[in-house]
Structure 1
Amino acid sequence: MIRKTRKINKMRGSRTIGGGCSKKRRGAGHRGGRGKAGGHKHMWSWVVKFDPDRFGKSGFKRPLKTINKPTTVNLDYLDDNAEKLVEKELAEKKGKKIIIDVTQLGYDKVLGNGKITKALSIKAKEFSKSAIRKIEDNGGEAVTL
């Protein structure tokens, strides 16, 4: 049934408008807090009845795949530090060629960044195409392990 007049019109002049004592309907304490407050405490029975999936985890998260990227080193670094590596006995010198085993230094792949001035014989698991070209153009060799 549709009301002809709103209920508030009947309440006009009643001071508390159906709220009991005038002190009782003041703040959010009258409704037990604002928003979702008290969901784990005084509103727990409401949560159990009307929104049982509100708390707790649900579903499954797929574990992220980790990609093992090879550790890389550039040709210019090897060229600059070739003499130092020979002094530290991490590389050996045979004639004019310097033989460097990159896996002993903790690298997997040689990249072709920079210029080479020395004849280097480099041993590694992988080489980029530009690295192989630069090494061979300079009189060295790229040995794949």
Structure 2
Amino acid sequence: MATRFRKSRRQRGTRYCGWGQIGQHRQSGSRGGVGAAGKHKHYWIRTVIQEPNHFGHDSFYSSGRPHVSKWLNVRDVDGLMEHHGVIRENDTMPSLDLSSLGYDKLLGGGKIRGRVTLHIGKVSGTAKQKVEAAGGEVLAWHEHNTE
């Protein structure tokens, strides 16, 4: 095709050269998106060359790690004892099953006032120390040190 018949030559002298009155071919759509847009689509070759490890996850951390979704501090145990505490006939120490209330882990924030037996899946080291210092006990499946 001769150069004189090309679109760019035909549009010389017109005000917007085919890109419209408002946008003028300057927004992010003209450059393929903003930021990391298109790394898995139209900028794939660039991603493979410049950032080969961009997608995926670190194999050191498994995707099925145990996740603590609901936790409780020691300061909140007294409030739960008023509503959910159970005193058995033979024991003088009240008992509270935090696992049945939906809590996964007991943390050591705050202070506890009275003696209590707590049942929970996980407990931090400071939480266990504070409960035992108050005369209570913690029955946990897993114990963690958070010091």
Bin the TM-score by the shorter chain: 0.5 to 0.7
Counterparts of residues 132-143 of structure 1 (less than 5 Å): 132-143=128-139
Measured in 2, the distance between the counterparts of 1:28 and 1:67 equals: 57
Deviation at residue 83 of structure 1 after TM alignment: 1.7
Measured in 1, the distance between the counterparts of 2:25 and 2:140 equals: 66
Q: What is residue 128 of structure 1 aligned with on the other side?
A: 124
Measured in 2, the distance between the counterparts of 1:99 and 1:78 equals: 11
Q: With the length of structure 1 as denominator, give the TM-score of the two structures.
A: 0.56
Measured in 2, the distance between the counterparts of 1:105 and 1:98 equals: 16
Counterparts of residues 59-78 of structure 1 (less than 5 Å): 61-62=55-56, 68-70=66-68, 71-78=70-77
Work out whether residues 79 and 117 of structure 1, in 8 Å CA contact, stay in contact via their aligned partners in 2. yes
Q: What is residue 56 of structure 1 aligned with on the other side?
A: 42
Q: With the length of structure 2 as denominator, give the TM-score of the two structures.
A: 0.56
Measured in 2, the distance between the counterparts of 1:66 and 1:35 equals: 47
Report Cα offsets for 1:92-134 as digits up to 9, x if no partner: 2134312111110111110111111111101111111111111
Counterparts of residues 41-120 of structure 1 (less than 5 Å): 56=42, 58=44, 61-62=55-56, 68-70=66-68, 71-86=70-85, 92-94=86-88, 95-120=91-116
Report Cα offsets for 1:9-40 as digits up to 9, x if no partner: xxxxxxxxxx89xx9613023xx324479x9x
Question: Larger Cα Rg: Structure 1 or Structure 2?
Answer: 1
Q: Report the RMSD for the aligned CA atoms in angstroms.
A: 3.4
Measured in 2, the distance between the counterparts of 1:24 and 1:127 equals: 75
Work out whether residues 74 and 111 of structure 1, in 8 Å CA contact, stay in contact via their aligned partners in 2. yes
Q: Cα gap change, 1:68/1:24 in structure 2, threshold over 3 Å: closer, same or farther?
A: same
Is 1:144 equivalent to 2:132 in the alignment?
no
Unaligned runs of 5+ in 2: 1-8, 30-40, 48-53, 142-147
Measured in 2, the distance between the counterparts of 1:62 and 1:119 equals: 49
| Range with bigger deviation, 101-110 or 61-70 | 61-70
Aligned residues: 103
